[in-house]
Amino acid sequence: MWETLFRDFSFLPEQASEHAGQVDLLYFFCVALTAVFTVLIPAVMVFVAIKFKRKSDDEVPKPVHGSLPLEIAWSVIPFVVTMVLFGWGAVLFFNYSSPPPNSLDVHVVGKQWMWKIQHPEGKREINQLHVPVNQPIRLIITSEDVLHSFYLPVFRIKRDAVPGRYQTMWFEATKTGEFHLFCAEYCGTEHSLMIGSVIVMSPEEYDQWLQTDDQDGSETPVAAGERLFSELRCNSCHNGAGGNGPSLDSLYRTRVAFTDGTNAIADESYIRESIVDPRRHTVAGFGPMMPTFQGQVSEEQVFELISYIKTLGVE
């Protein structure tokens, strides 16, 4: 029994991305720092307890009320060390939240208690995330119900799935294999069963995997979005030909001005908001005509609409 228990003994999870290695480096630094003080401070205490042991109840040690140089030293040194940690941690954080432009967008929806994933090629899966190695993947994460958190320990990343919001993170796997996927934010009864795996494959295997048939068919999100766009009659206003709604051509990542004088960048979150709560911001030059589609489209369908809208007017 003990053999099986100890077989898995280790101190680090596998590193399957460059970022993971960098996080581990900071971790080692912190561990070293902790180890030094965790040895040093008790050592001093033990030394003091022996060296200055009370010999008689009458002894009166000489009082020392302070020492400015010492106090400055043990204020400034921790300050400097923690500022290093702050900077180091911040750099890693910004790396984790800034995907490279050539990333592949994969959509993730959490719901009690499963992860629903859709690839840009249209393939859908549940509780599994197949990705090609050496390809940056950007995950766009949301939730249908409560808070969840999409956690991939081998890449040292996680991000909360928040209903009503899009959150992103990215990774680039450097190692093929099958690794853990966990839900890290407590989400109700079967929280600990909301797990799965990320499967990193060679590009060839990945292509092959994309070809395999499954029950969901393989309509791409863009195609599905295009179908929805006409089914929901979005194009009766958003037709780019003087309709009641603004043209959506080349909308993605441009700046949109509103009637109240404010503006915003048309990212995924903005497009999502425009579908589910269109009256929150009205585009300058138009009236607040659009009805809400909240409740009429699922989170996946919103993703599909966005995927399609992102392609409009783009060659």
**Chain residues 54-83 in contact with another protein, contact rule CB under 8 A:** 54-55, 57, 59-67, 70-71, 74-75, 77-79, 81-83
* 3 is an interface residue for another protein by CB under 8 A: no
Closer by beta carbon to another protein, 2 or else 315: 2
Q: Provide, rounded to whole angstroms, the least separation between the CB of residue 287 and another protein.
A: 8
Q: Which residues contact 214 (CB under 8 A, 6 or more apart)?
A: 123, 124
Q: Residue 130 pairs with which residues in a beta bridge?
A: 199
Query: How far is it, in rounded angstroms, from Cα 3 to Cα 312?
Result: 59
- Number of residues located near another protein, criterion CB under 8 A: 98
Please give the Cα distance from 117 to 107 (Å, whole number).
6
Q: Locate 226 and state its tokens.
A: 């295009």
- The residue within the footprint of another protein, chosen from 15, 18, 103, 112 (CB under 8 A), is 112
Q: In the set 15, 18, 85, 270, which binds another protein (CB under 8 A)?
A: 85
Given a contact cutoff of 8 angstroms between Cβ atoms, the answer to whether 104 and 135 are in contact is yes
Greatest Cα pair distance in the chain: 98
Among 183, 201, 222, 306, binds another protein (CB under 8 A): 183
| 28 near another protein, rule: CB under 8 A | no
Q: Which of 21, 37, 208, 265 binds another protein (CB under 8 A)?
A: 37
Q: Please report, for residues 112, 218, 310, the alpha-carbon distance to residue 315 in angstroms, rounded to integers and kept in the order given.
A: 39, 23, 11
Q: How far is the CB of 127 from another protein (least distance, A)?
A: 14
Kindly state whether residue 92 participates in binding another protein, applying the rule CB under 8 A.
yes
Interaction between residue 89 and another protein (CB under 8 A): yes
Using CB under 8 A as the binding rule, whether residue 244 contacts another protein is answered as no
Taking CB under 8 A as the criterion, the residue among 178, 190, 207, 249 binding another protein is: 190
191-210 binders of another protein (CB under 8 A):
191-193
257 binds another protein, rule: CB under 8 A:
no
- CB-based contact 121:218 (threshold 8 Å): yes
User: Which is closer to another protein, CB of 97 or CB of 254?
Assistant: 97
Q: Is the peptide bond before 209 cis (omega within 30 degrees of 0)?
A: no
Task: Verify binding: residue 232, another protein, rule CB under 8 A.
Answer: no
Min dist. Cβ of residue 264 to another protein (A): 13
Return the residue of 131, 137, 139, 157 that touches another protein, per CB under 8 A: 157
Cα angle value 187/194/149 (rounded, 5°): 55
Q: Which of 165, 217, 249, 311 binds another protein (CB under 8 A)?
A: 165
Question: What separation in angstroms does the CA of 230 have from each of 212, 235, 236, 237?
Answer: 29, 6, 8, 11
Q: Figure out which of the listed residues 103, 124, 135, 145 binds another protein, where binding follows CB under 8 A.
A: 145
Cα gap 109→52, rounded to integer Å: 63
Q: How far is the CB of 51 from another protein (least distance, A)?
A: 8
Q: Which is nearer to another protein, 195 or 210 (CB)?
A: 195
Q: Which of 104, 184, 232, 284 binds another protein (CB under 8 A)?
A: 184
Residue 94 region by backbone torsions, left for phi larger than 0, else alpha for psi between -120 and 50, else beta:
alpha
Encoded amino acid at 167, one letter: Q
DSSP string, 142-174: EESSS-EEEEEGGGTEEEEE-BT--EEEEEEB-
- Interaction with another protein in 275-304: which residues (CB under 8 A)? 277, 279-280, 282, 288-289, 292
